[in-house]
Every structure is written in C-alpha cells, then in structure tokens.
Amino acid sequence: MTKKTLNEWQREASVYITGGMSSSFRANQFTGVPMYAEKADGARFIDLAGKEYIDFFMCHGAVLLGHNCPEVKRALILSIEKGFFAGMDSPETVTFAEKLCRAVPAAEEIRFVNSGSEGTLLALRLARGYTGKDKIIRIDGHFHGVHDYLLANNLVSKVDYENDGNRASRTIGRTAGIPYIIDQVVIPIPWNNIEIMERILKEQDDEIGGIIMNVIDYNNGCFLTTSKYLQQVRMLADKYNVVLIFDEILSGFKTGVSCGHGYYGVVPDICTLGKALTNDVPMGIVVGKKEIMSKIMDPVNPVIAGGTFSGNQLGIAAGNAVMDILCRPGFYREYLPRVEKFYEELKKLFNSYGFPAVVQGLGAGFYIYIGTDKPLETYSDLKRTNKPLAKDFFTSCIRHGLYFHTDFTVSAAHDQGTLDEALSRFEDVLKEF
Ligand SMILES: Cc1ncc(COP(=O)(O)O)c(C=O)c1O
C-alpha cells in the first residue's frame, strides 16, 4: 500500500470537508498543510504515514497533561459507563465549579460554555449588560476567538503598526462577513500603554462598558506585560465603571493553577478560561464576580447565557480530572522547572551553533523567534525576525519529528527523556543550517 502525503490527504478530505480541515486555523503556518493524525499519546503523535512527532503544538496550547491523558481518559470512560447525557447538570458539574472557585482568584461564580469564542462573547455581553454601556476596549493584536466583535486586529499580522501610541488603532483585517458597524463599538488600542487607555476612557466615559485583554500573549508567540500595567488597568476600570475582562483561554494554568492573573497578582472582574482545563475535550468557562455574573439571573432584564450542550458531562468529567492533577501539591514545582531548564538548554544549543534565535517563554508557553538575538518586547520588534528563515527552520523541525504550528507548549507529559530527545532532534536540524 502506498502511503499518501499530507497534501494528498488534504485533497481527498477536501472533497467533503471545506478546505479539507475542520478549522481554518489548522493549515500549518510553516508548511501550509494541515496535519492529519492516526493517534496521539502523551507528548507525541503519529501521522497517517506512521511518522512519529514530539508535539509542541499540543492542540493550540490546549493540552497541558499530554494527549490521551490516563486520568482524563478514565474520567471520560466512567462518565460514559454511568450513562452520559446532556441538557442537564449533575453533582459533578457542581464539584468542578467548586474546585475552580477555590483555585482561581477571579472565580466567585461560573458559567460553562462550549468553546473559548463562546466564552469571550458572553464576557462582552456581561460587561455591556452590567454597565449599560455598549463600547468595548480591546488590545490591538490580541486574539479572543472567532466571533464578529473581536476578529479584526486579532493577531500581529493585523496590527495598526502606524499607531504611534497617541491614538486608538485603526481597524485592521476585518475579514468577509464581519459588519462595519462593529467598528462603532470596539476600540482597539496598543498594549502596555496606560496613557491612551486613560484618555479614551475619559473621553468616552459614558459609553465604554468593558476592557478585554490577554494577560500573557501566547497567541503571537510569547509577549509579556507587567504587574504595574495590569494594576493601572484595574484602577482605571474601577474609576470609569468598566468591567475588566482577562482572556485566559490560552494562558490559563500555564504559570500555575491561579492562572496568569494569579501570577501577576491582579484580579479581573470576569475571566474566560478553556483549553488546558479540559485537556483535549471541548469546553469554555466564564468566571467572575458574583455581582456581575448574577446579571444572568436578573428577573427583569437578564444577560442571556445558555446553550444546548453547555456544561456537557464529558467536559465536566475531564475538567474534574484535570483540576485534581493541577491542584496536587508539587505538581507545578516538579513540572515548570523542567520546562524552564528546557528553554535554557535550547538557548545554549542555538548559541553553540551561532544560529540567530530567541527562545522566549513563561511557564508552559514559549516561542522561538528566528533571525534575531535580542528579546522581543513589542510587536514592532518582530521586524527584526526573519520570516523565510523561520519557515525553513520550522519546516525542517517538522521533517525531523518536532511538530510546531501555533502556540508552542511544553506539556507535563514532556518528561526529561522526551525533552532530551527533542534537543537532539533540534541539533540535527541546526546541522542543516
Ligand atoms: C486567547 C484565546 N481566546 C479565545 C480563543 C478561542 O477559543 P476557541 O478556539 O475554543 O473558540 C483562543 C483560541 O485559540 C485563544 O487563544
């Protein structure tokens, strides 16, 4: 039997599935072709040609405990054996919510949804419904999912680079189907610039109901902020009666169980979570202050929040199992130092080959910027990187069995042996340059 290439698989899949993939974000950013897998286990997966990869993509950064995690699998099987259903909550739903409220500083109350995008959509509606003000401030370049409100200006490829920091950014990259009218209620501004945020809040005080931002920007690699900036944002949100939303769908649980806002010590009014929390099983979660969340139950003019599969029992079962692991004493103490050591080893390896690359990581999320040797602080610093070289480098990584796409992640299943093997494969790649 001849083995098909990924291109051939995509052509075949395209007969019935638009583009041959279930998500348009699945075409690999370096090779241009989606990956099709036979199976995945721990830190590795096997493609349809039987080739094995060490996975640093980990389902868009959604898998911190490894694929096919035994504890999650057991919880799913138990849930199925018990007799699975949807459309009704269960004691397990409450147990999961309780675990989250104990561990996550922003979580006083919870609502379960089905995806991250649904979560940020509800978060915006809560901000508007609670304050009675329709406009939302967003950060130019931050990703928050695929609904109409937040799809423009959502990645570094769609940032208003001409903004000198003294004005709101222009809407960039509004793709087909997104109404122009959205621009009237969404104001993109540059990150880590408190002055422009304050000016806009002052000017449109009675119109702005929410601010949404990522606490750690892993969607564009690994760009960071400071506790000071987040504290200032917190103060402005209080001063101008604006709901502060942190989107931690990607950053949640990567620096510890208290998430990015626990790491920086700044608690938002609403926080969106998902991905790592259910480890390969779909679910999204909106957590927040009781006073704001209770607008959902307002008897007169509620914020509507509901869905057929919201709080589905498989997601709940997975989430309970994940929380039990993340909350184990010593879990992060054992896991994160190994990850940090890996970043250091990788940096040393690049240096020893004189290859221009910056490894930038915080907790379990990282990125390798190719073509520069100085850390990147702002999106404009990306001009220093070398895109064609990055394409060649990561395509070669993939050939050598190191899988990269968006959102580079080191999971807890990447044990020392796997990371050593990854370093040796990196060395093979570097020998080619
Ligand atoms: C920061 C952030 N917010 C929201 C989302 C949307 O989540 P989902 O893909 O589950 O809709 C993502 C997904 O990548 C994300 O990284």
CB 339 within 8 A of CB 364: yes
Ligand 1 pocket: which of 24, 113, 275 to mutate (most atoms within 8 A of CB) = 275
Which pLDDT score is estimated for 2?
61
Q: Would you list the domain boundaries of the chain?
A: 6-68+332-430, 70-326
Please give the chain's pLDDT, 433 residues, in tens.
568 899 999 999 999 999 999 999 999 999 999 999 999 999 999 999 999 999 999 999 999 999 999 999 999 999 999 998 899 999 999 999 999 999 999 999 999 999 999 999 999 999 999 999 999 999 999 999 999 999 999 999 999 999 999 999 999 999 999 999 999 999 999 999 999 999 999 999 999 999 999 999 999 999 999 999 999 999 999 999 999 999 999 999 999 999 999 999 999 999 999 999 999 999 999 999 999 999 999 999 999 999 999 999 999 999 999 999 999 999 999 999 999 999 999 999 999 999 999 999 999 999 999 999 999 999 999 999 999 999 999 999 999 999 999 999 999 999 999 999 999 999 999 999 9
- For residue 405 and ligand 1, the question of a CB distance below 6 A is answered with no
- For residue 251 and ligand 1, the question of a CB distance below 6 A is answered with no
**CA 176 / ligand 1 centre spacing (Å):** 20
**CA 417 / ligand 1 centre spacing (Å):** 31
- For residue 212 and ligand 1, the question of a CB distance below 6 A is answered with no
- Superfamily (CATH) of domain 6-68+332-430: Aspartate Aminotransferase, domain 1 (3.90.1150.10)
Region 70-326: CATH code: 3.40.640.10
Which pLDDT score is estimated for 3?
81
Which pLDDT score is estimated for 359?
98
- For residue 124 and ligand 1, the question of a CB distance below 6 A is answered with no
